[in-house]
């Protein structure tokens, strides 16, 4: 799958098959995440891969819209060292991971992290040092659904020269 096809056909998957995801496939999508754009090449991200069902259930209970964490065989927490652009850098890494997952045949979905009331609880559950901020929780696995999304027409959102 080429980059444009991956970007334009990726959808958020919330239902997963129970099949485990091989570690080498997880590493492949994480490698794409670490190649994300980053301010001043700081690369503040760390990735916590959670496959343990008990811990995934605890993460699910902590979140408000993360029911799919319990259903997915993998949850990846993207945490960044607290720095001026941690949120932008972590969001770029998260997006790379979502697109890479789709490109290799996996489903994925972004569950909010930063600014959520549970962010500190999740950081502690994962044993991350206090100088790290939770940017996102990403579910990952083999899709048990094929979501369809309606996108606004491109012509409705392009403004040439001025808004």
Does residue 67 lie within any of the structural domains?
Answer: yes
Does residue 163 lie within any of the structural domains?
Answer: no
Q: Which long-range contacts (CB under 8 A, 24 or more apart) does 19-23 make?
A: 19/73, 19/141, 19/142, 20/51, 20/73, 21/73, 21/74, 21/106, 21/140, 21/141, 21/142
| Residue 70, domain CATH | 3.40.109.10
Does residue 161 lie within any of the structural domains?
Answer: no
pLDDT in tens, the chain (163 residues): 899 999 999 999 999 999 999 999 999 999 999 999 999 999 999 999 999 999 999 999 999 999 999 999 999 999 999 999 999 999 999 999 999 999 999 999 999 999 999 999 999 999 999 999 999 999 999 999 999 888 999 999 999 999 9
Task: Say what the pTM is.
Answer: 0.95
Domains held by the chain: number:
1
Segments forming the whole domain that contains residue 125 = 3-156
């Amino acid at each position: 799958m080429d980059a444009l096809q991956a970007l334009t056909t990726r959808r958020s998957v919330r239902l997963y098959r129970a099949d485990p995801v091989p570690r080498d496939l997880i590493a492949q999508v994480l490698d794409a995440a670490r190649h994300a754009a980053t301010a001043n090449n700081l690369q503040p991200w760390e990735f916590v891969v959670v496959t343990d069902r008990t811990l995934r259930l605890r993460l699910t209970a902590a979140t408000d819209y993360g029911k799919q964490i319990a259903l997915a065989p993998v949850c990846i927490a993207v945490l960044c060292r607290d720095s001026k652009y941690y949120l932008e850098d972590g969001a770029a890494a998260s997006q790379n991971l979502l697109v890479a997952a789709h490109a290799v045949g996996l489903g994925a979905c972004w569950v909010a992290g930063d600014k959520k009331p549970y962010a500190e609880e999740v950081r502690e559950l994962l044993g991350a040092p206090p100088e790290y901020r939770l940017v996102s929780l990403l579910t990952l696995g083999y899709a048990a659904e094929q979501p369809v999304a309606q996108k606004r027409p491109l012509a409705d959102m392009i403004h040439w020269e001025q808004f």
